[in-house]
Chain A
């Protein structure tokens, strides 16, 4: 039997706050964190809302030397990773030299750092480009910086898979643990709220042009018309069960019990989208039947086609109105590589607290036969949860987490 992969520590940096306590309290309460963009002037653009992390000064959390050489996404990730280690109570001596690693997801890499240095290059000349541009914009920069800071000399990697990448990273971490790593820091953070990043978002054609913060990101609602991007994400400490027991880990949240990913067929060729199969394969990987899943965190893309596909896949697997579905991301926006790791942390907290966080702002459309938990948190005994994440261009990933006795 394969050893279990446990979540033994979590850290978050989201528009709801830096730190798990703030983020969870605001998520439970359904507090809105979407607003007009302040990080750059959004007025020339057709979409102007985002979930921004306000009041984050990296110098409050990180050494000065590190701040100079890192993009905002890496700064947020380094902060969340440090919180996750603290939450897990891991001491450096608990991890043998090559026994610890890091796998993160990054959709945008260090795009704001890169934008600033490209601006220096073209407006002032090559002598004004920071030497740290040599790596700070890399998608892998965050994994590299976490590995250096926490002396994780084992496996390191990064996955790029848009909104689905966060689950793929956690799955890769589990794979490494099954191959012998004791501990992997995993998850993802994106911070793309600069004009270059915004241009990339707009190019997908899936960004809401709404002006009202509470009526612009509306998955499974008749008014659904694209999503609102946000920034941030989560880092989790994943440990081999035996290693966790050996070091006396005392903050186990749950286990990563199942995972699968699929790719959609070419659009328009009439074949079924890949999401249903991703869910079924993840359940099979967890050796759980659909009736054993207590809660679903939806991808909640908020376009008519994507919402319909997701609702149809859920109904095909679980039946109509058969399982509670939620998407707390409606309060903070879609965080790209950081989105699914935040949902996995929310799932872990839902299991621990017996509470389903709500999908705020949404008036469910009667055309979807799903039990969407809206407006208020719902008390429930949650032993298992399914997290769904879909990336632009046809990536589908699904992960099952399960309570550990």
Chain B
């Protein structure tokens, strides 16, 4: 079974669907290394985002996923790592 890939585009789409975007932030700008908090997403918005990633990709994310991976670059990598573990399991 080939592994699904989770991209920055997927993350942006899910952020927008679930929580919307802060007016002062351009999600199409260079956001890879900007903290989610600085992008205007508080803990509830991130909980919603995590839940949406889980149900769309059929993946289980641990409770500290956003604490351990506070930027889009880190989160995308962490989700892909989890997808990789599932594909090889």
State the A residues within 8 Å of B (CB). 63-69, 127-128, 130-132, 134
Is B54 a contact partner of A127 (Cβ separation < 8 A)? yes
Flag the segment in B3-11, B14-22, B28-36 that touches A: B14-22
Min CB gap B24→A, angstroms: 9
Is B20 a contact partner of A64 (Cβ separation < 8 A)? yes
- Which residues in window 50-81 of B have CB below 8 A to A? 51, 54-55
- Which residues in window 19-47 of B have CB below 8 A to A? 19-23, 40, 44-45, 47
Given contacts A128-B55, A132-B44, contact A68 B23 (CB under 8 A): no
Which of A63, A69, A134 lies in contact with B23, CB distance below 8 A? A63
Given contacts A131-B48, A132-B44, A134-B44, contact A65 B55 (CB under 8 A): no
Number of interface residues of B (CB under 8 A): 14
Given contacts A127-B51, A127-B55, A128-B55, contact A64 B44 (CB under 8 A): no
Is B22 a contact partner of A131 (Cβ separation < 8 A)? no
State the B residues within 8 Å of A (CB). 18-23, 40, 44-45, 47-48, 51, 54-55
Is A64 a contact partner of B23 (Cβ separation < 8 A)? yes
What is the chain B residue whose CB lies nearest that of A64?
A: B20
Is B40 a contact partner of A65 (Cβ separation < 8 A)? yes
Is A132 a contact partner of B48 (Cβ separation < 8 A)? yes
Min CB gap B22→A, angstroms: 6
Given contacts A131-B44, A132-B44, A134-B44, contact A67 B20 (CB under 8 A): yes
What is the chain A residue whose CB lies nearest that of B19?
A: A68
Is A65 a contact partner of B44 (Cβ separation < 8 A)? no
Taken together as a complex, chains A and B put the C-alpha atoms of A67 and B19 apart, in Å, by 9
Is B48 a contact partner of A65 (Cβ separation < 8 A)? no
Min CB gap B79→A, angstroms: 16
Taken together as a complex, chains A and B put the C-alpha atoms of A128 and B48 apart, in Å, by 10
What is the chain B residue whose CB lies nearest that of A131?
A: B48
Cβ contacts under 8 Å, A64 to chain B: 20-23
Cβ contacts under 8 Å, A68 to chain B: 18-20
Is B54 a contact partner of A65 (Cβ separation < 8 A)? no
